[in-house]
Structure 1
Amino acid sequence: MQTRKGSTGTRERYSDILLALGVVQSREALGLSLILAKYNKDPKEKNKAIEGIAGIGMKQAPKLVGKAAGRQMANCIVLLAKMAVEEYSRTADDPKSRCRCRGRGKVADLAASRAAGTTIEKICPRCDGTGLKPATSAAVYKVIKALVPDLTQRTWTRNWKVFYDSLITQCYQESTAAEKLFSQLTSPQQ
């Protein structure tokens, strides 16, 4: 019975990756949940990520947000966390999130194409090459306004939107920390 060359190394590499995932899950659980929610579209991981971001949001919520929300504070934080994770999880493979460039990040430059006689592409000016529609906080404002009817546009812009943007930034920071730890664990030792 013959074994294939390199199969032992593949098995070792596979076990190293599983070990690294276990370590990342124990140390950077929120970041790993965010990554799995974004790329695997896993609903359980998405719920874990929402809970984690909501917990961070409860600790970091500005006083003016709490004052405006009153008894609806917990519901508002959970909704903001849910929408922040949704915003973080947007990818160009979802047709609802795609820009006019159909998620490619490039469009035809008509003037340059006419001059050159061939198709010339340029970076999409609407999405700046990301392939995603530009995000707006208008939908988030409407949802929070339903819970807190006294919320004005001015208060939203000065206090709530800044807090919502910080939750989105927190999502990116947590996932970056998890990616960094995973790459440190799986990179070859020098």
Structure 2
Amino acid sequence: MNLENTVKYHFAKSTLISDSPRATASDSLTGTDIMAAMGMTQERAAMGYSAFLGKMGISKNDRERAIALLAEYALTKCDKVAALRKLGDEIKPLVMRQLATFAFEDYSRSAASVKQCDCCSGQGFIEADVFSMKSHYTMRLPQWAKDLKQSPSDFEVKRQVKEVARVLCSACKGKKVVSCACNDCRGRGKAVAQEETNKQGVPVFANCKRCSGRGYERIPSTEAYAAVCQITDAITVATWEKSVKHFYDQLITKFDIEEAWAEAQLKQITR
């Protein structure tokens, strides 16, 4: 049993919690067995299991717990980085918490994820210049014009007026969020290799160069740096690129390692 199979047991409509086996085999797991297995996995691999549940959107509490556990782990390892070691005792936990939060957001992102639209800043509407045609009459229609049955449009003056109006955002179509899927491969992770396609005469697919085969765009590390700068200005851009960014990438990888460990523990328990 792997972690993905446990997701359905968190929804009432998709599982049967009882003492009766779900299959005729003697070694089939009951609902009680599965609940116990998930509890034991959470005890053995707290960070990995909580991170997985938070990534799947099962529980916000598990998301916060995973971030808190990673922040505690980061505090034990950050002194290896000179720039982080020099931070004050009050500032260091805040910085680690911020890095852990961005690390979780990057870890949990997928091609199905959405992010706030940058074009409208999550408002769904933008202000744009709208041009409209307006008209007015220079004078009242004189009697001689009425006798000659002239059209009122002969005395009409038209002008183009520019107004600022709120219009629907063209990027998100008013949804306030946009997809995180790669624009080149549309979340598939594979794209047509034009050079090989031209050589062989048939479509040849390879890993997308833009997203490196992930299918989605990662969160730029500059966003994490900007968030850290709101807490302290002790870390410069050069220091971030030289050492702190590498430490931040290790925190993201830590979630993947812990999730793999949680899955290994679950398989060992349920085998």
How far apart are 1:44 and its partner, in Å? Answer: 1.6
- Residue 105 in structure 1 maps to residue 189 in structure 2: yes
Mapped contact 1:53–1:167 kept (Cα < 8 A): yes
1:46-96 CA distance string (max 9 Å, x none): 111011111111222215304135632121111111111111111121144
- Residue 25 in structure 1 maps to residue 39 in structure 2: no
The secondary structure found in structure 1 opposite 2:230 is helix
- Residue 80 in structure 1 maps to residue 99 in structure 2: yes
The percent identity for this pair of structures is 30
Structure 2, unpaired ranges of 5+: 1-21, 115-178
Residue 130 of structure 1: aligned partner: 214
Residue 167 of structure 1: aligned partner: 251
- Residue 90 in structure 1 maps to residue 83 in structure 2: no
The secondary structure found in structure 1 opposite 2:206 is strand
**Letter paired with 1:24:** T
**Letter paired with 2:46:** A
Deviates more, 1:117-126 or 1:131-140: 117-126
Of the three residues 227, 236, 240, the one matched with 1:152 is 236
**Structure 1 residues 140 and 7, CA gap change in structure 2 (3 angstroms):** same
1:131-150 CA distance string (max 9 Å, x none): 12145311111111121123
The secondary structure found in structure 2 opposite 1:131 is coil
User: CA separation in 1, counterparts of 2:195 and 2:242?
Assistant: 41
User: CA separation in 2, counterparts of 1:67 and 1:86?
Assistant: 26
User: CA separation in 1, counterparts of 2:248 and 2:94?
Assistant: 14
TM-score, length of structure 2 as denominator length? 0.60
More helix by share: 1
Of the three residues 127, 132, 140, the one matched with 2:224 is 140
Structure 1, unpaired ranges of 5+: 1-5
**Letter paired with 1:82:** T
Of the three residues 44, 50, 54, the one matched with 2:67 is 50
**Letter paired with 1:7:** A
**Structure 1 residues 53 and 39, CA gap change in structure 2 (3 angstroms):** same
How far apart are 1:176 and its partner, in Å? Answer: 1.2
Mapped contact 1:68–1:151 kept (Cα < 8 A): no
CA RMSD of aligned residues (A): 2.6
User: CA separation in 1, counterparts of 2:261 and 2:56?
Assistant: 16
